[in-house]
Amino acid sequence: MSAEAAEVLIVEDSPSDAELTVRALRRFNLSSRVRVVESGADALDYVFARGAYAGRDQRPPRLVLLDLKLRKVSGLEVLGQLRAAPETRLVPVVMFTSSREQGDVEPCWLAGANSYVAKPVNADAFEETVAAIGHYWLVLNRQPPDSPAAEAGG
Amino acid sequence: MPRSRKRTPATAAASPRRPARKAPRQSELLEAVVNGTTDAVYVKDVEGRYLLFNSGASRLFGKHADEVLGRDDTEVLQPEDAGVVMADDRRVMESGRTMTCERCLTMAGGAKIWFLITKGPVFDGRGKVAGLFGISHDITARKQMEEKLRKEQTLVRALMDNIPDQIYFKDADSRFVLISRTQATRFGLRHVGEAVGKTDFDFFTEAHARPAFETEQEILRTGLPVVDIEERETWPDGSETWVSTSKMPLRDEDGSIVGTFGISHDITERKRAEEQIRSLNAGLERRVRERTAALEAANREIEAFSYSVSHDLRAPLRAIDGFSKALRDDYGAALPPEARHYIDMVRSGTKAMDSLVNGLLALSRLGRQALLRQDVAPADLVRGLVEELAPERRPGQVEFVIGDLPTCRADPTLLRQVFANLLENALKFTSKAERARIEVGSAEREGETAYFVRDNGVGFDMRYSGKLFGAFERLHSAHEYEGAGIGLALSYRIVTHHGGRIWVEAEPGRGATFFFTIGSGTSDVR
Backbone angles phi, psi at B513, to 5 degrees: -125, 120
Residue B419 · residue B378 · CB < 8 Å:
yes
Backbone angles phi, psi at B226, to 5 degrees: -115, 140
Q: What is the tens place of the pLDDT at every residue in B338-367? A: 999 999 999 988 888 887 787 777 777 776
Mean pLDDT computed over B410-434: 86
Nearest partner of A12 among A31, A37, A29, judged by Cα: A37
Query: Residue A137: pLDDT above 80?
Result: yes
Residue A111 pLDDT class (50, 70, 90 cuts): very high
CA distance B285 to A28: 64
Lowest-confidence range among A113-127, B434-448, B471-485?
B471-485
Distance from CA of B344 to the nearest CA of A (A): 12
CA distance B38 to B302: 110
Query: Residue B14: pLDDT above 60?
Result: no
Mean of the per-residue pLDDT values of chain B: 86
pLDDT score, position B487? 80
Q: Please classify residue B419 by burial: count the beta carbons closer than 10 Å to its beta carbon, then call 0-12 exposed, 13-18 middle and 19+ buried.
A: buried
Q: What is the tens place of the pLDDT at every residue in B145-154? A: 999 999 999 9
Residue B395 pLDDT class (50, 70, 90 cuts): low
CB contact under 8 A, A100 and B354: no
What pTM did the predictor assign? 0.49
* DSSP secondary structure letter of residue B165: S
Distances (CA, A) of B359 to B466, B490, B491: 20, 8, 11
pLDDT score, position B479? 47
Mean pLDDT computed over B511-523: 79
Query: Residue A147: pLDDT above 60?
Result: no
Q: What is the tens place of the pLDDT at every residue in A36-78? A: 999 999 999 999 988 888 877 778 899 999 998 887 889 999 9
Query: Residue B522: pLDDT above 90?
Result: no
Q: Please classify residue B523 by burial: count the beta carbons closer than 10 Å to its beta carbon, then call 0-12 exposed, 13-18 middle and 19+ buried.
A: exposed
Q: Where are the alpha helices (DSSP H) in B234-336?
A: 268-331
pLDDT score, position A71? 78
Q: Quick one: three-class SS letters along A2-16? A: CCCCCCEEEECCCHH
pLDDT score, position B16? 53
Q: What is the tens place of the pLDDT at every residue in B40-76? A: 999 999 999 999 999 999 999 989 999 999 999 999 9
Q: What's at B149, amino acid-wise?
A: L
Percent of chain B scoring above 90 in pLDDT: 57
Whether chain A has a CB inside 8 Å of the CB on B370: the answer is no
pLDDT score, position B8? 46
Distances (CA, A) of B59 to B55, B62, B118, B447, B466: 6, 5, 18, 93, 108
pLDDT score, position B94? 93
* DSSP secondary structure letter of residue B468: T
Mean pLDDT computed over B89-111: 92
CB contact under 8 A, B322 and A100: no
Whether chain A has a CB inside 8 Å of the CB on B97: the answer is no
Host H or E run for residue B423: helix B412-429
Residue with more model confidence, A32 or B331: B331
ipTM of the complex: 0.83
Query: Residue B37: pLDDT above 80?
Result: yes
Residue A128 pLDDT class (50, 70, 90 cuts): very high
Mean pLDDT computed over B267-295: 92
pLDDT score, position B50? 95
Q: What is the tens place of the pLDDT at every residue in B280-293? A: 999 999 999 999 88
Residue B317 · residue A121 · CB < 8 Å:
yes
**From the candidates B313, B320, B321, B366, which should be mutated to test the interface with A, based on the most A CB atoms within 10 A?**
B321
* Nearest residue on chain B to A20, alpha-carbon basis: B322
Residue B391 pLDDT class (50, 70, 90 cuts): low
Backbone angles phi, psi at B286, to 5 degrees: -65, -40
pLDDT score, position B493? 85
Q: What is the tens place of the pLDDT at every residue in B72-82? A: 999 999 999 99
pLDDT score, position A56? 78
Distance from CA of A64 to the nearest CA of B (A): 20
Query: Residue B158: pLDDT above 90?
Result: yes
pLDDT score, position B308? 76
Q: What's at B184, amino acid-wise?
A: A
pLDDT score, position B168? 95
**From the candidates A98, A121, A124, A127, which should be mutated to test the interface with B, based on the most B CB atoms within 10 A?**
A121
Mean pLDDT computed over B495-516: 87
Query: Residue B18: pLDDT above 80?
Result: no
CB contact under 8 A, B307 and A124: no
Residue with more model confidence, B21 or B256: B256
CA distance A103 to A107: 8
pLDDT score, position A4? 58
Q: What is the tens place of the pLDDT at every residue in A10-30? A: 999 889 999 999 999 999 888
Q: Which residues of B touch A131 (CB under 8 A)?
A: none
CB contact under 8 A, A14 and B326: no
Query: Residue B2: pLDDT above 60?
Result: no
pLDDT score, position B169? 95
Overall residue count recorded for chain A in this entry: 154
Residue with more model confidence, A104 or B325: B325
